[in-house]
Amino acid sequence: MPQAPMPEFSNSVKLKYVKLGYQYLVNHFLGLLLIPIMAVIAVELLRMGPEEILNLWNSLHFDLIQVLCSSFFVIFISTVYFMSKPRTVYLVDYSCYKPPVTCRVPFATFMEHSRLILKDKPKSVEFQMRILERSGLGEETCLPPAIHYIPPTPTMDAARSEAQMVIFTAMDDLFKKTGLKPKDIDILIVNCSLFSPTPSLSAMVINKYKLRSNIRSFNLSGMGCSAGLISVDLARDLLQVHPNSNAIIVSTEIITPNYYKGNERAMLLPNCLFRMGSAAILMSNRRSDRWRAKYKLCHLVRTHRGADDKSYYCVYEQEDKERHVGINLSKDLMAIAGEALKANITTIGPLVLPASEQLLFLSSLIGRKIFNPKWKPYIPDFKLAFEHFCIHAGGRAVIDELQKNLQLSGEHVEASRMTLHRFGNTSSSSLWYELSYIESKGRMRRGDRVWQIAFGSGFKCNSAVWKCNRTIKTPKDGPWSDCIDRYPVFIPEVVKL
Amino acid sequence: MEEDRVRFICKRTVVSTKSVEQGQLYRFSVFDHVMEPNHIRLVYYFRSSKTREPGEITKKLRESLAYTLNCYPIITGRLVKDIDGMDEKDDLNRQWKVKSNDGGMRMVEARATGTVEEWLRSVNREEELKLVHWEDMYHLPYYWSTFYVQVTEFDSGGLAIGLSCSHLLADSVCAMMFFRAWADLTLTRNMMAPPLFHSLPPRRFANHGMISNNQLLSHYIKSCALNAPPSNLTEDSIVTVTLLFPDPMVRAGESEPGLSTFEILAGLFWVCVSRAKGKTNEFVDMSLCVDVRKLLRLDQSYFGNCMVYHKVQYSKPFKTKDSLLLSHAAQDIHNATKRLDYDTVMDLIEWLSSNSNPISNGSDLVCTNLEDMGNSRPMMFEKDLILSHVSCYVEGPVAGGGQVIVLPSPSCEEPTSRVVMISLPRREMVKVVEDELLLSFSPVLLMDYTKQKNV
């Protein structure tokens, strides 16, 4: 009996060491190459002796013109290099909105309200109960005050007051943390997918904080849960054009006006999962912020699959038979998300993966094309490229799917799962709650790379790669401050209601 | 009839701020089970000297209620039956339990026109009940909230808070204690008297036989039988009158030592109601409802039913002058109450554990003693909201054929002044309010019945 498992174990250990050896070899190839070259030169020099070296030096005729030209050339090349290098964009700090405890919605309350409101549609209530049981949400997620009423009263006033509550609280917190004065904001980007009043939410922010009249403000709406990273992309592009500026991004989703009042099953899903939340982020390209910035933006890759009809229609806002507006989620959402992710990985892979993985992927690709199409495609190991992963907490299924596809361990997706449990699906701001979780757990060290992946309607898959600029001390306040000690929790497959 | 003075705004659920440990089950005591079909409604009126934004105080109360509910998991839970428990008895007696599931309690927000003082001058029972929201148990009790709170802001100042609850979970004493805890938490962020949840004293094993002549027990044996006489089903509607007795002890004349104000007032109404019913040679059947927490050596913060009903028998002659009749009646009430002691009540508790029928007081007159619920420390939610009046209604088979509830008087200075709420069939009420003996106490009419529509 002990004979059979031993060989397997030693095989896998052998394989592990082979892999490690291979990775080390390929990733440090140039370094490894340099060592023998330096050794040869050193041996040569020692062999030659000091007089010979001096003779060699004197034999090189150095003309004044030659020296001048070569030095100008070097200066010219380095100037061109520094001028054309894209400005580094830093994330100075961010703050996430922590909803008040009085807005809490436990499962029992949600189900009761559901039953009281849809009293003649027991099948829809059953459906909602099953979704909630398997959703991965906890008992502390929050809905805005207007949705607590029986029946809910989603008026425009209520939506505006929810927007004011979540956005202004997050921004006040950000101002306090960074010491930023409202008059110093150069660029303002607000993204909120489903609530778009006139004047816009960015105008609301400008009005409240009395921002400058020459501020560059943008309001992105309708772009789904990946709008947060789209805003970051926009901020980065703007910060390339405007030197010495900062940008504030507000990512949120206003739940009040989007409560689905009908009973079409595929459209009841968002009611069960979407919760209140928002995040305010300060980005800057100023050199003075380099020392206190938390992260540096390395890459941002956006992939849009809208050209494909199936992807376009998979998250679709429409009216049901009774003229209630809701968001229809199609059944093949997971498959489409998987495809979008593959497209995104194909673009981001070469930018972030170490040479060893890229080589393996390339050889597997060539092999599949030329030799045998039936070879399994090699999935590069992204764990080598990143220390932390923030997967949009769109739902338990999304996180499970990505964990499987990218072969991530439980600890890698812990931030996403725990954010889903504590805050629910807060749409575009969920990535920031997850980042805050990692920081609150004290896991963020200088030089760590973070990969944020967001999915959104359209169908879009956007990723951002950040590099941690300084080791971050566990924050004393923040959305996780009072409950981080309870996490991680075990989330059962099905919670019996 | 003029238009409704009370405008319903919205209904919502208030949950506690901390999530509860799921799956906990609370069992009810025998006193709880026996009170199941009834419910309580309380209304508290507060006058205010400050003008406020409409909705501001309601929001504050909602938040403080959420914090208060952290200490009352039994209120935020839901009723269940037939949970697979450890009891073997569960097969025979499928009894209610509370499953702590974090459901929360319902809160209704409303507005009313005018001020509190105007309202109190012209309100009647029907209108007052509009200030307290109540829903009877649903077909599916798991989604039914057992407690309801209604906050009504008066447009020109003042506040009325209505609290209603199922009698299965609480009696009037602990409902009022809950209210006080909520007020304390709102005002001082500190709960002075958090509730205690535990079972009643355990069975005695000192080989007591049942006390012979335990009248409390015999009353319950009769009233809990399935064929107990049903409550008042006359075609006459019940009307309610609220009277303020400024100083009943003095008016009673021969102030017998040792008699409490409740006993005097209960005696007074015993006499008046009997006369109104036309009985000249006997008194009506009367049950007294008293709090036995002290008797059972329980703290006043004990949350759960702990009030018993015991019948009083009149043992003295009838044909005497009024004042002597009153004094005899009060004396008999006093003696009956004195006979209640630890063992008597424990006998009852032990008997009730094998009885599963709720109590019905038939068509008796029921006098409830809540006079000790006043407190020298005033109850308020904010510094400028002063409690001006409290109303209490109990509905269900335990209300018998007429009710007299004796409450402390929040606004009167005199410590022995009392507010009494009397609910009787209309025909009897007409006679009672004209009764000479009653009028000799110079009661002040706080709420009249005359504006009530005849149903």
**A325: enclosing H helix or E strand:** strand A325-329
Assess B143–A contact: CB distance below 8 Å, yes or no.
yes
Q: Which of B34, B9, B414, B60 is nearest to B245 (CA)?
A: B414
Give, for A450, the enclosing helix (H) or strand (E). strand A449-456
The token pair that represents A367 in the structure block:
């092999």
Task: Provide the pLDDT confidence category of residue B87 given band limits of 50, 70 and 90.
Answer: low
Q: B92 pLDDT band (50/70/90 cuts)?
A: very low
| 3-state secondary structure labels for all residues of A205-221 | HHHHHCCCCCCEEEEEC
B133 and chain A in contact, CB less than 8 A: no
| End-to-end Cα spacing for chain A | 45
Q: How confident is the model at residue A6 (pLDDT cuts 50, 70, 90)?
A: low
- Residue A73: helix, strand or coil by DSSP? helix
Q: How far apart are CA A260 and CA B182, in angstroms?
A: 35
Residues 89 to 108 of A: which have CB under 8 A from any B CB? 100-102, 104-108
CB contact under 8 A, A101 and B66: yes
**Token pair belonging to A405:** 């596809």
The pLDDT of residue A18: 83
What tokens does A488 get?
Answer: 């991680």
With a cut of 80, say whether residue A76 has pLDDT above it. Answer: yes
Q: In the numeric block, which tokens belong to residue A413?
A: 């997706």
Specify the residue for token string 């004293």. B201
pLDDT tens digits along B252-288 = 655 567 788 888 889 889 888 888 888 777 888 888 9
Return the CA Rg of chain A: 27
Question: Where in chain A are the domains?
Answer: 90-486
Contact B277, B269 (CB under 8 A): no
Q: Read off φ and ψ for residue B446, nearest 5 degrees.
A: -95, -40
The domain B6-188 is placed in CATH, from the list 1.10.10.10, 3.90.180.10, 2.50.20.20, 3.30.559.10, at 3.30.559.10
B381 residue type, one letter: F
Cis amide leading into A488 (omega within 30): yes
Q: Which residue of A has its CA nearest to B78?
A: A108
Cβ distance of A109 and B13 shorter than 8 Å: yes
The minimum CA-CA distance between A437 and chain B, rounded to whole Å, is 20
Is residue A196 exposed (0-12), middle (13-18) or buried (19+ Cβ within 10 Å)? middle
Q: How confident is the model at residue B455 (pLDDT cuts 50, 70, 90)?
A: very low
| A387 half-sphere exposure, CB direction, 13 A CA radius | 13
Q: Quick one: closest CA in A to B20, which residue?
A: A139
B interface mutation test: which of A98, A103, A109 has the most B CBs within 10 A? A109
Asked if A454 contacts A398 with a C-beta cutoff of 8 angstroms, the reply is: no
Predicted confidence (pLDDT) per residue in B118-131, tens digit: 888 888 888 888 99
DSSP state of A474: P
Which chain A residues touch B106 with a CB distance below 8 Å? 150
Confirm if A107 and B102 have CB atoms less than 8 A apart. yes
Specify whether domain A90-486 bears CATH 3.30.70.2500. Answer: no
Q: Which one-letter amino acid corresponds to residue A129?
A: M
State the CB neighbour count (10 A cutoff) for residue B256: 14
The residues, ordered by sequence, that sit 6+ positions from B221 with a Cβ below 8 Å of its Cβ are B351
CA distances from A121 to A113, A124, B136, B140 (A): 13, 6, 22, 15
Q: How many Cα neighbours within 13 Å face the side chain of B160?
A: 31
Per-residue confidence (pLDDT) for residue A493, from 0 to 100: 87
Question: What are the Cα distances from residue B334, in Å, to B147, B269, B325?
Answer: 34, 15, 14
Q: Where are the domains of chain B?
A: 6-188, 215-228+236-372+397-447
Q: For A224-248, what is the mean pLDDT?
A: 94
Query: Complex ipTM, two decimals?
Result: 0.84
B63 touches chain A (CB under 8 A): yes
pTM of the predicted model, to two decimals?
0.88
Q: Find chain B residues with C-beta within 8 A of A494's C-beta.
A: none
At the top level of CATH, which class does the domain B215-228+236-372+397-447 belong to? Answer: alpha beta
Residue B66 has pLDDT above 90, yes or no: yes
* A149 contacts on B by Cβ (under 8 Å): 10-12
Q: Distance (Å, rounded) from C-alpha A267 to C-alpha A320?
A: 9
Q: How far apart are CA A324 and CA A329, in angstroms?
A: 15
With b for 16 or more beta-carbon neighbours within 10 A and e for fewer, the A316-332 pattern comes to: eeeebeeeeebbbbeee
Question: For the CA atoms of B310, B311, B312, B313, what is the dihedral angle to 10 degrees?
Answer: -140
Highest-pLDDT range among A232-246, A321-335, B90-104: A232-246
Peptide linkage before A218 cis (omega within 30 of 0): no
Alpha carbons A235 and A187: distance in angstroms, whole number: 8
C-alpha span between A431 and A423 (Å, rounded): 11
Residue in B11, B63, B106 nearest the CB of A102:
B63
Query: For A279-318, what is each residue's pLDDT tens digit?
Result: 999 999 999 999 999 999 999 999 999 999 999 999 999 9
Angle formed at CA A210 by CA A209 and CA A214, multiple of 5 degrees = 120
Cα B66 to Cα B18: distance, rounded to the nearest angstrom: 9
In this prediction, residue B82 has a pLDDT band, given cuts at 50, 70 and 90, of low
Produce one character per residue of B51-83: b if its CB has 16 or more CB atoms within 10 Å, e if not. ebeeeebbeebbbbbbbbbbbbbbbbbbbeeee
- Sheet with A449-456, edge to edge strand ranges: A216-220, A187-192, A246-253, A277-284, A90-96, A295-304, A460-468, A449-456, A388-391
Mark yes or no for CB contact A109/B78 under 8 Å.
no
Contact at 8 Å (CB) between A409 and A384?
A: no
Alpha-helical segments (H) within A64-155 = 64-84, 107-117, 122-133
- Alpha carbon of residue B154 to chain centroid: 25
Residue pLDDT, tens place only, A349-392? 888 988 888 888 888 878 888 877 777 777 788 888 899 999 99
Cβ of B15 under 8 Å from any chain A Cβ? yes
The rounded distance, in Å, linking the Cα atoms of A435 and A412 is 12
Question: Active-site positions of A?
Answer: 225, 304, 388, 392, 421, 425
Interchain proximity B19–A112, CB inside 8 Å: no
Q: How far is B193 from chain A (nearest CA, A)?
A: 23
Average pLDDT over residues B386-415: 85
Query: Mutating which of B9, B19, B138 best tests the A interface, going by the most A Cβ atoms within 10 A?
Result: B19
Contacting B residues, span 144-163, partner chain A, CB-CB under 8 Å:
145
| Domains B6-188 and B215-228+236-372+397-447 belong to one CATH topology | yes
A16 against B103, higher pLDDT:
B103
Question: Checking DSSP bridges between strand A388-391 and strand A449-456, what pairing results, if any?
Answer: parallel
A474 CB-contact burial (10 Å; exposed 0-12 / middle 13-18 / buried 19+):
middle
**Confidence band for B396, pLDDT divided at 50, 70 and 90:** confident
Long-range pairs for A413-418: beta carbons < 8 A, 24 or more residues apart: A413/A389, A414/A488, A415/A388, A415/A389, A415/A390, A416/A389, A416/A390, A416/A391, A416/A392, A417/A136, A417/A393, A417/A488, A417/A491, A418/A487, A418/A488, A418/A489
pLDDT at residue A224 tops 50: yes
Distance CA B128, CA B150 (A): 12
Nearest residue of A to residue B9 by CA position?
A: A149
Q: Is B440 exposed, middle or buried (0-12, 13-18, 19+ CB in 10 A)?
A: middle
